Amino acid sequence: MGSPPTDSAPLEPSLGALAGGDLALAGASARPGGTAWRFLKRNPTLLAGLVFLALIVLASAGASLWWTRDPQSMRPIARLRPPSLEQWFGTDHFGRDLYSRTIYGGRISLAVGAAVAVISLIIGTGIGLVSGYFRRLDAVVMRVMDGLMAIPSILLALALMALVRASLQSVIIALVIPEIPRTVRLVRASVLSLRELVMVEGARAVGAGTPRILLRYILPALVAPLIVQGTYICASAMLVEAYLSFLGAGTPPHIPSWGNIMAEGRAYVQLAFWIILFPGLFLGFTVLAVNMIGDGLRDLLKVR
Amino acid sequence: MADLSRRKFLAGTTAATAALTLGAPNVAAQKKGGTLRVMPHADLKAVDPIWTTAYITRNHGYMIYDTLFTTDASLQIKPQMVEKHTVSADHRKYSFTLRDGLKFHDGQAVTAEDCVVSLSRWGKKDALGKLLFAATETIKAVDRKTFVLELGSPFGLVLDALGKPSSNVPFIMPARVAATSENEQIKESIGSGPYRFVKDEWQPGNQVVYVRNGDYVPRNENPSGAAGGKRVFLDRVVWRHIPDAGTVYAALEAGEIDYWEAPGLDFIPRLEKNANLSVIVTDPRGNTGWLRPNHLHPPFNNKKCRQALLYMIDQDTVLQGGLGQSKYFQSCPGYFLCGDGLPYQSAAGAPAKPDFERAKQLLKEGGYDGRPVVLMDPTDYPTIHGPTLVMRELLQKGGLNVDLAAMDWGSLVTRRAKKEPPPAGWNLFVTWWISADAMTPAVNAGLSGAGDKAWFGWPTIPELDKLRSEWVRAVEPVRKKQIAEQIQLLAYDEVPYVLWGQFKQPTAFRKSVRGVLNFACAVFWNISIDA
Amino acid sequence: MLPLILRRLLATIPVMGVVALFVFALLRVTPGDPAAIIAGDYATPQDIERIRAALGLDRPLLVQIGIWLGQLLRGDLGTSIFSGLPVTTLIKQRLEPTAALTILAMLLAVSAAVPLGVLAAWKQGSWIDRAVMGIAVAGFSMPVFWLGFLLVYVFAVWLGLLPVQGYTPFSAGFWPFLRHLILPALTLSLVFMALIARMTRASMLGVLGEDYIRTAFAKGLAPWAVLTRHALKSASLPIVTIIGVGFALLIGGAVVTESVFALPGIGRLSVDAILRRDYPVIQGVILIVSGVYVLLNLVIDLLYLFLDPRIRY
C-alpha cells in the first residue's frame, strides 16, 4: 500500500536533526564496540528488529541447511495435507512441501524488498539532488513527481505490470517507480535547506564544482534519513509484492515468494488454511522487523 | 430424415439416465417466483455467442436465445422452435416451419428470415456450420414461418448441426442483429428465449441479471436436456461473479448464493457432506483435456517433437496434481473420450506409458535446440491452471526448456490467436472441452488439419481432413467406427494435440433448488426455489 | 483568501496533466496491439485496420492527444474493450461500494486511533504507550488480505454473525448495508488506524511539551479538557495531513479488500481491467481516482487555513 509516511509531516528532516545525527554517529565511531552496544540497549525496538530480521535472513539465505526439500517438487499423492511431523507446515494442492516453500520464499521476498529499496533510493537520490540544486529543473521534476504521487501506488504498480510480461525484474521495476517520488521529495527538501549552509557557500567561493559540492557536503547529511527511508521502502515493497501476487499480477506463479504462495492458497482458505497462514506470519513478522529497525534507526540517528 | 439407428446407438447405455430431471418431476409442484443466485464458472465478458466460443457466453445464449433444434439428455436431436420439418426423398431438400407464438424480447414475431440470417452468420464461424454451409446450395425463407435449405452435395448431419448443443450454438437472433459481420460483436442482446437480459443491471466482473420472459411460449412437453418445454418458474436469475473459490464455498454454505456451477474438485467432499446441498454431475460424459502445441513454429512444427510430448504427459499425474479428486477423473487414451454414451472410444495407437528417456530421444531426433518453449498459463482459471503447472514440471523433466507465461484467460484467448513465433506468440497451451464438443470427428475442432484455417495451433494434416469428410459421408455405424479409429491412429502419429485426461465437473446447489436439468451446459429454465 | 484558493486550484492542473499524460501513454506503450485485442480471435487484418482507424491510432501522436483531451473535457472516458459499455457507466456502477467502504474505514480508523494516540502520548513511556505503539506497528506490517481472511473465517464462517461476501446498497436498508461493510471496513481501517495512532502520538508529544499546556495543567483544568481543547487542536494539523495522504493508501488497500470480500467497487473494477488489459477502463479509473485524491488534498490544504492561522502562503 505504499510506504507509510514517517510520523512527521512534512517529510523533510530538519536541519538540526541532520546535524544532530552526524554528531551522534561521530560519537559512536570514537569507541566502536562499547558505544554501539549501549545505543542498542537503550533502543530495544532496534535491537528486537535486528534480531528478528537476522533470524529470517539466516533462515532464507541458508535455506538448504534447515531441513528443507525441493520447494518445487510436486507429489500429487500428498496434496492438501495439514501440518504434521513429516511436513511441518503441511502441503499445498500440488503436494509441495510448504515449509520448504516458505523458507525459500523468504529469499524472493527479501530480495525484492532489498532491491526495491536500494534501486529507488539510488534513483530518487539522484533525481532529488539534481532537482534540489538546479532551480529550473526543479519546477518540472516536482510537477512530474506530484503527478506520479497522485496515483495510488498499487494502481500504478498494477498498471505497470499490465504493460509487461510478468517476471521478477518487472515486478521490481513496477514497485520502484511509485516509491521514487517520495524519496525525491525527501532528498530535494534537504538539498534545498543545505545549499544555503555556510560551508556550502564557502566551498562555492573556493571554486568547488557542483558535483563535488553535492557529493562531499550534501550527500553525507542525507545518509541517515535515507537509510531510515530505505527500511520503510523495503517493508512496504515486500507487502506490495504480496498484494500484486495476490491479485494475480505479480511474481510469476512458479516462483515461490510469500505473496505467491498465499495467492495460490486463496481458494483453499477453508480447506487448507495453512497454505495462507505460514507465509502470512513470516511476511508479517519480517515486515514488522524491518519497520522496527526503521523506527529504531530513526530514533537513534535522530531523524525527524 | 435423421439416421435413427445412429441416434439409438448413441443413446445406448445412457438410456437409464435419459430424460431424467432432478428434483421434482411433477411440474405442478414447483413453486413460482424468487431469485436464483448463481456463481457461474466464469465472468461474462463477451455477449455474442457466435463471435466467441467461450462457454460462459454460450450459457448466456441459452438464457436469452432459442434454437431451431436442440439436444436432449441422451443426445438425441429434438425440434425446439421448429413445428414440423420435411426432408425430400433424396435427402437434398429440407423444409422447416416455425412454431406459433415465437416472439423476440422487443415484441416482434420470429420470422423465417430471422432464422436464415442467423444461421448464415453462424455458418461462417462454427466448425460444423462451415461443413454444413459448404454442402449447402441455397437457404432462403419461403414465407413468414417457413424456410428451405437445399444441399448441393450429400450431408447427413443437417439436423445435428442445427441442434448442436455447444459452441457455437446456432442461436436465432433478429435479422437486423444477425446481419452484423461475424468478426464483430453484436450490439444488442435481443433473443426469443425464456429469459431477458437486463442490460442496465449488467456489471461486468460482478453480476449479470436476467428476468423471466413472460411472452415465452414453451413447448408442451417435458423438459429433457435443452429439449422439451422451457418453463420458467423464477422471476430473476442473477449471475454473481466472485473471484475467490474459497469465498464462494463459504457463501454457498452460508446461503448467500444458491447455485455453484463449477466448484473446484477439492471442495466436493465437503460440499457432499453438507446436508443442505446437493452435488450432482449434470453432464456424466465429462470433459476432455487438451495440450495444444503450435504447429507453425519450432519445435512443434516437427512431428517427432510433438510425439515426444506423448511420452511426457502422464494423465494420472496431471489429473491427480491438477484436479485432485479421483472420483471425478479418469485417464482416457481416446481422442473421442471414454465411458458410457461415447461411441468412438478406443485405445488404438496410445503410447503404453510415460517414458521420459524416449521423450528426450524423440526431441533429439526432432532437432530440438533447447530454445525456450512458451507455455501459456491462465492463473485465473483453476481447472486449467492446475494442470498447466503440473505439465510444466513434466515437460521440464522430459527435456524441454519451458517458459511459463502467466496471464489471465482473456489474454490467453487473445494471444493464442497470434500466428507469430514466440516471444510474441506461443508454443503450448492447455484447455478442455465438454464431451459434446469432442466426441465425434465432425464436432472435434482440434482434429481438423486445415493448416491456417484450422483451430488455434494450425496443424497441417490434410489426411486428417480427408478422413473426417469420409466419416461425415459414411452411413453405417460400423464403418463410422472404423474411420474414427483410423483418425485416432493418425492423431497419435501426427499429434494435433495431446490428451491430459478426462474429468467430470459436478455442480452444487442448495436443496431448496429444484428442477435442475441434466445437460452438457448449465441451463436455468425448469428451476424453482422452494419456500 | 480567494486568490489563495484560486492559486491552489490552478496548481492542481499541471499535476493532473502529468497523470493524464501517463494514462494516455499507457495505451500506446503497450507491447500488444490494442486494435488486435479489440478485434478479437477471428479478426482479419482488414478488421484490425478498421478498428485501428476507428480508435484513431493511425493518426499522428499530437492529433491523438488532442482528440483524447477533447473527449476527456467532454466527459467521455472511452468504451470498455470487452463489454462495450462506456467507461463512465462502469465507474458509476461501482462508485458507491468503494466510497462507502473508504469512508467507513476512515471513520473507524480516526475514531479509534486518535484517542489511542492521545492516550499513548499522555502516558508516554508507560506500558499503555508501549502496547499501543506495539500494536500499531504490527498493524501496518500485516498483509491486508491475510487479516481479511482471518476476520472472515472467525466472524462469518465460524461464528456466522456476519455475511461472507457481497454488498447491499444503502438504499436497500441501513442495517444490511452496514452488516456487509463492517468486516471489510475493519480490515481496511486497521492499517490506517496504526498510522494515525502513531502520527497522533508523535504530534501530541510535540505539543504536550509546550509551555501553555503545562500552564493549563497547573491551572487545574481536568486532564481530558486540556488534552482535547488545547493540545489536540494544535496537534491536529499533521493528523489532518495524514488523512489526506492516507486516502491514497486506502484506495490501494480497497483494491485488495474488495477482492477478498467480493465487493463490486472501483478497486475490483481496476484489477479486472488491468488483468484483462482493458486499457480504456484502466485509463478512466486512474484518472478518476487520482483526480479525487488531488481534490481531497486541495480541500485539506484549504482546511489548514482555518486550523492554523499562522500559515499564510
Residues 186-225 of B with CB under 8 A from C: 187, 202-207
Residue of C nearest to A9 (CA): C238
Q: How far is C147 from chain B (nearest CA, A)?
A: 15
Measured between alpha carbons, how far is C209 from B76 in angstroms, rounded to an integer? 87
C61 vs C259: which has the higher pLDDT: C259
Interface touch B324/A93, C-beta < 8 Å: yes
pTM metric for this prediction? 0.82
pLDDT tens per residue across all 304 residues of chain A: 344 444 333 333 333 233 223 333 333 334 445 666 776 677 777 888 888 888 888 888 887 777 778 888 888 778 888 888 888 888 888 888 899 899 988 888 999 999 999 999 999 998 988 887 777 888 888 888 888 888 888 888 988 887 777 788 889 999 999 999 989 988 888 887 777 776 667 777 777 666 676 677 777 878 888 999 999 999 999 999 999 988 888 888 778 889 889 988 888 888 888 899 999 999 999 999 998 888 888 877 765 5
Contact list in C for residue B254 (CB cut-off 8 A) is 156-157, 160, 163-164
Provide the phi-psi class of C163: left if phi over 0, else alpha when psi is between -120 and 50, else beta.
Answer: beta
Please write the tens of the pLDDT for every residue from C117-126.
Answer: 888 887 777 8
How many other C-beta atoms lie within 10 A of the C-beta of residue A138? 17
Please, what is the Cα angle at B94 between B93 and B97, to 5 degrees?
145
Measured between alpha carbons, how far is B360 from A71 in angstroms, rounded to an integer? 25
Q: Which three cell numbers stand for residue B146?
A: 417457413
Exposure pattern of B204-221 as b/e (b: 16+ CB <10 Å)? bbbbbbbbbbeebebbee
Interface touch A242/C143, C-beta < 8 Å: yes
Interface touch C15/A2, C-beta < 8 Å: no
pLDDT given for residue B24 in this prediction: 39
pLDDT given for residue B376 in this prediction: 93
Interface touch B382/A267, C-beta < 8 Å: yes
Pairing of strands B136-143, B146-151: antiparallel
B28: pLDDT strictly greater than 60: no
pLDDT given for residue A6 in this prediction: 41
pLDDT given for residue C31 in this prediction: 59
Residue of B nearest to A77 (CA): B320
Using alpha carbons only, how large is chain A's radius of gyration in Å?
22
Interface touch B321/A166, C-beta < 8 Å: no
Element (H, E) at A11: none
Q: How far is C98 from chain B (nearest CA, A)?
A: 14
Nearest-CA neighbor of B298 among B401, B422, B417, B394?
A: B422
Using alpha carbons only, how large is chain C's radius of gyration in Å?
24
- Selected for mutation to probe chain A from C12, C137, C204 (highest A CB count within 10 Å) is C137
Q: How far is A239 from chain C (nearest CA, A)?
A: 6
Please write the tens of the pLDDT for every residue from C86-97.
Answer: 889 899 888 889
Nearest-CA neighbor of C136 among C121, C156, C151, C116?
A: C116
Burial (0-12, 13-18, 19+ Cβ within 10 Å), B95: middle
C-alpha dist (Å) from residue C305 to C2, C12, C244, C301:
12, 18, 15, 7
Q: Which long-range contacts (CB under 8 A, 24 or more apart) does B358-365 make?
A: B358/B308, B358/B311, B359/B308, B359/B309, B359/B311, B359/B312, B359/B398, B359/B399, B360/B308, B360/B398, B360/B399, B362/B304, B362/B305, B362/B307, B362/B308, B362/B311, B363/B299, B363/B304, B363/B305, B363/B308, B363/B398, B363/B399, B363/B400, B365/B304
Interface touch A93/B266, C-beta < 8 Å: yes
B143 vs C40: which has the higher pLDDT: B143
Interface touch C18/A143, C-beta < 8 Å: yes
| Beta carbon pairs, B and C, within 8 Å | 105
Of C43, C164, C264, the CB nearest to B206: C264
Q: How far is B441 from chain C (nearest CA, A)?
A: 22
**Contact indicator for A128, A214 with CB cutoff of 8 Å:** no
**Contact indicator for B391, B319 with CB cutoff of 8 Å:** no
Please write the tens of the pLDDT for every residue from C162-216.
Answer: 888 888 888 888 888 888 999 999 999 988 888 888 888 877 877 777 777 777 7
Contact list in B for residue C43 (CB cut-off 8 A) is 183, 417
Interface touch A165/B379, C-beta < 8 Å: no
Contact list in C for residue B413 (CB cut-off 8 A) is 41
pLDDT band at B406 (very low <50, low <70, confident <90, very high): confident
Q: How far is B23 from chain C (nearest CA, A)?
A: 28
Interface touch C41/B125, C-beta < 8 Å: no
Residue of B nearest to A248 (CA): B379
Please write the tens of the pLDDT for every residue from C26-55.
Answer: 766 665 666 665 665 555 666 677 767 766
How many other C-beta atoms lie within 10 A of the C-beta of residue B198? 15
What phi, psi does B395 have (nearest 5°)? -65, -40
pLDDT given for residue B14 in this prediction: 40
- Selected for mutation to probe chain A from C33, C204, C249 (highest A CB count within 10 Å) is C249
pLDDT given for residue C33 in this prediction: 65
**Contact indicator for C39, C48 with CB cutoff of 8 Å:** yes
Of B251, B413, B424, the CB nearest to C41: B413
Interface of C with B (CB under 8 A): 31-32, 36-37, 39-44, 47, 80, 82-85, 90, 93-94, 149, 152, 156-157, 160, 163-166, 259-262, 264, 268-269, 272, 275-277
What are chain B's domains? 30-42+194-282+506-531 (3.40.190.10), 49-58+65-184 (3.90.76.10), 287-503 (3.10.105.10)
Please write the tens of the pLDDT for every residue from C230-285.
Answer: 677 766 777 777 777 777 778 888 999 998 888 999 988 988 888 777 778 888 88
pLDDT given for residue B284 in this prediction: 87
Give residues with Cβ within 8 angstroms of A70, minimum separation 6: A100
Of B183, B254, B417, the CB nearest to C164: B254
Task: Confirm or reject contact between B410 and chain A (CB < 8 A).
Answer: no
Contact list in C for residue A295 (CB cut-off 8 A) is 137
- Selected for mutation to probe chain A from B403, B404, B430 (highest A CB count within 10 Å) is B404
Helix (H, G, I), strand (E, B) or coil at B283: coil
Amino acid B366 reads G
Interface touch B246/A266, C-beta < 8 Å: yes
Element (H, E) at B195: strand B195-197
Contact list in C for residue A268 (CB cut-off 8 A) is none
Residue of C nearest to B186 (CA): C84
pLDDT given for residue C56 in this prediction: 67
Of B242, B246, B408, the CB nearest to C276: B408
C147 vs B380: which has the higher pLDDT: C147
C-alpha dist (Å) from residue C59 to B510, C21, C52, C54:
56, 17, 9, 10
Nearest-CA neighbor of B498 among B290, B314, B301, B347?
A: B290
Task: Confirm or reject contact between A5 and chain B (CB < 8 A).
Answer: no
Interface touch C40/B52, C-beta < 8 Å: yes
Q: How far is A172 from chain B (nearest CA, A)?
A: 17
Contact list in A for residue B392 (CB cut-off 8 A) is 254
C66: pLDDT strictly greater than 50: yes
Nearest-CA neighbor of B243 among C263, C9, A249, A128?
A: C263
- Which residues, in sequence order, are bridge partners of residue B96? B85, B147
Element (H, E) at B94: strand B93-98
B365: pLDDT strictly greater than 90: yes
Element (H, E) at B77: strand B77-79
Of C15, C141, C256, the CB nearest to A147: C15
Task: Confirm or reject contact between A82 and chain B (CB < 8 A).
Answer: no
Nearest-CA neighbor of B248 among B277, B284, B275?
A: B277
Interface touch C41/B206, C-beta < 8 Å: no
Interface touch A9/C198, C-beta < 8 Å: no
In SS3 terms, C269-309 reads as: HHHHHHHHCCHHHHHHHHHHHHHHHHHHHHHHHHHHHHHCC
Burial (0-12, 13-18, 19+ Cβ within 10 Å), B63: buried
